[in-house]
Amino acid sequence: MNPQPRFRFLPMPFHSVLLLIVWLLLNNTVSFGHIVLGSFLALTIPMLTAGMQNPQPRFHRPLIMIRYAIMVLGDIIVANFEVALLVLGPSKKLQPAFIAVPIDIVNELPITILASTVSLTPGTVSAEVSEDKNWLYVHVLHMTDKDELIATIKQRYEQPLTEIFAC
């Protein structure tokens, strides 16, 4: 089950780099001492925690991942304006709804990313995933067209995720 790490002293290279960057950002400095201390932490923490790792599908297409992240950031800004307008508008005109979105991706990590993306983008909050992981239940603040919304979620967010994780 547990794949043999590529390097014994660097079981999670990506996490090590991330830890070093976060450490430097936390201290808001790039001084030599902090780079040394951060590198030490970045090397030892993954060694201690490698055994607890839950095997996750790999990112097959990192470039699409970056494009996806930028697209989601843009959508978050649009979402904020839309929700702000809906909040300021008359509440009586709102048409809230629960919808079930069929999902094709199977692994936990992509489903988590999809649910988080749905929560961050225009007027939707994911509320529940069905037991068989085939349906994502979503609450919509103001629904105009159900089929269109489901199609948007599937094409705009799920489709790139299937490419990234190749599942």
Partner 1 sequence: MEFWIEVVVSAFLIFGGVFVFIGSLGLAKLPDFYTRLHAPTKATTLGMGSLLVASSVMITYQQGYLSLHELLITLFLLITAPVTAHMIAKTALHHKLHIIDRTTGKTSAKNARKRESSEEHSA
- Give me the residues that bind partner 1 (CB under 8 A), please: 22, 25-26, 28, 76-77, 79-81, 83-84, 86-88, 91, 94-100, 115-120, 123, 125-128, 130-132, 135, 137, 139, 141, 143, 146
User: In this complex, which beta carbon is closest to partner 1, that of residue 73 or of residue 166?
Assistant: 73
Smallest gap, in angstroms, from Cβ of residue 154 to partner 1? 16
Mind spelling out the 3-state secondary structure of 39-100? HHHHHHHHHHHHHHCCCCCCCCCHHHHHHHHHHHHHHHHHHHHHHHHHHHCCHHHCCCEEEE
User: In this complex, which beta carbon is closest to partner 1, that of residue 50 or of residue 83?
Assistant: 83
Smallest gap, in angstroms, from Cβ of residue 23 to partner 1? 10
User: In this complex, which beta carbon is closest to partner 1, that of residue 55 or of residue 90?
Assistant: 90
Smallest gap, in angstroms, from Cβ of residue 55 to partner 1? 21
Whole-number Å distance between alpha carbons of 1 and 23: 31
Smallest gap, in angstroms, from Cβ of residue 9 to partner 1? 27
CB-based contacts of 110-118 (< 8 A; 24+ apart in sequence): 110/57, 110/161, 110/162, 110/164, 110/165, 110/167, 111/136, 113/161, 114/157, 114/158, 114/161, 117/72, 117/157, 118/153, 118/157
Contact 123, 80 (CB under 8 A): no
User: In this complex, which beta carbon is closest to partner 1, that of residue 116 or of residue 166?
Assistant: 116
Smallest gap, in angstroms, from Cβ of residue 130 to partner 1? 4
User: In this complex, which beta carbon is closest to partner 1, that of residue 36 or of residue 100?
Assistant: 100
